[in-house]
């Protein structure tokens, strides 16, 4: 039975890159056969910036272990940043694929197999990460539905939307229901001139001045901070690799998306 089990598992390693996700961990067959034991996952080359833009389909392998690492990082970022970050579609889809493979692999394995409990345990951990990540995003969408959608409509066509397809559908659906509910329950009974929801003022917006802890992943020069007092006196600081900081979210907003800064 064991050999049958191992070639099933090797199918996980060589996930064929179907059209949806450019990210693939297709460590080819023969690399897998010479057992590289020890716990360091095989280090296939990954370029520094893991940009997962869909359109140009560069083949850059990333091992499942790094995949989980990325998921954990984006989970932490999403958890601490006040605003909705960019959706890591590639990572999420690849993780889902891995889980599916592992699950039908467990189903096919012999019932009393000693490894099943361990694989299940690991699957539960990864699922927890994934579900928590998606749940946090949905919570934010519900909180700032109108401002997210408004921003999404305003964005120029070449930048990717922050929301995944399903999230976009959910957000618009949610916003429609909230508006319908507010009008039905209150606004209808008010005199006509007050019936406008005037979302410009009342729309809840993410509070970008929230303070966050962060760790810099590599040296960053010239971050503008403290542009508070209106007489334009602001401070520029540099941060070197591996430092821990606590500061407002606003100054480092762009660095989080690009991965130079990791929220803790």
Positions touching another protein (CB under 8 A) are 2, 6, 9, 12-13, 35-41, 63-65, 68, 72, 79-80, 98, 102, 111-112, 114-115, 117-119, 121-123, 125-126, 128, 201-205, 207, 209-213, 225-226, 228-229, 231, 233, 235, 237, 243-248, 264
Q: Cα angle vertex 45, ends 55, 71, to 5°?
A: 65
Which residue's CB is nearer to another protein, number 157 or number 233? 233
User: Can you tell me the distance from the alpha carbon of 207 to that of 82, in angstroms, rounded to the nearest whole number?
Assistant: 6
Please answer whether residues 197 and 123 qualify as being in contact, where contact means their C-beta atoms are separated by less than 8 angstroms.
Answer: no
Residue 122 CB contacts under 8 Å (≥ 6 apart), including other chains: none
- Smallest gap, in angstroms, from Cβ of residue 56 to another protein? 27
User: Can you tell me the distance from the alpha carbon of 194 to that of 247, in angstroms, rounded to the nearest whole number?
Assistant: 41
Which residue's CB is nearer to another protein, number 38 or number 158? 38
Which residue's CB is nearer to another protein, number 6 or number 195? 6
- Smallest gap, in angstroms, from Cβ of residue 143 to another protein? 9
- Smallest gap, in angstroms, from Cβ of residue 20 to another protein? 19
- Smallest gap, in angstroms, from Cβ of residue 243 to another protein? 6
User: Can you tell me the distance from the alpha carbon of 175 to that of 148, in angstroms, rounded to the nearest whole number?
Assistant: 10
User: Can you tell me the distance from the alpha carbon of 71 to that of 98, in angstroms, rounded to the nearest whole number?
Assistant: 13
Which residue's CB is nearer to another protein, number 138 or number 168? 138
3-state secondary structure (DSSP) of residue 222: strand
């Amino acid at each position: 039975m064991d050999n049958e089990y191992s070639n099933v598992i090797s199918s996980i390693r060589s996930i064929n890159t179907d059209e949806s996700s450019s990210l693939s961990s297709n460590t080819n067959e023969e690399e897998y056969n010479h057992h590289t034991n020890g716990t360091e996952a095989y280090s296939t080359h990954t370029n520094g910036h893991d940009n997962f833009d869909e359109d140009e389909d560069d083949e850059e392998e990333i091992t499942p272990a790094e995949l989980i690492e990325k998921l954990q990082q984006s989970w932490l970022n999403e958890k601490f940043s006040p605003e909705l970050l960019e959706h890591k579609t590639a990572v999420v889809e690849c993780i889902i694929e891995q889980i599916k493979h592992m699950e039908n692999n467990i189903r096919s394995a012999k019932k009393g197999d000693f490894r099943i409990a361990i694989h299940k345990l690991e699957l539960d951990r990864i699922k927890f990460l994934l579900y928590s990540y998606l749940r946090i995003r949905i919570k934010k969408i519900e909180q700032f539905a109108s401002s997210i959608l408004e921003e999404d409509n305003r964005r120029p066509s070449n930048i990717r939307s922050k929301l995944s397809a399903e999230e976009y559908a959910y957000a618009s659906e949610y916003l429609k229901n909230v508006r319908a509910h507010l009008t039905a329950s209150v606004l209808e009974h008010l005199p006509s001139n007050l019936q406008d929801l005037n979302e410009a003022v009342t729309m809840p917006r993410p509070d970008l001045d929230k303070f966050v802890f962060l760790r810099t992943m590599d040296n960053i020069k010239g971050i503008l901070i403290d542009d508070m007092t209106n007489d334009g006196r602001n401070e520029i600081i540099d941060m070197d690799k591996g430092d821990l900081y606590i500061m407002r979210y606003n100054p480092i907003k762009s660095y989080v998306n690009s991965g130079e800064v990791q929220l803790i």
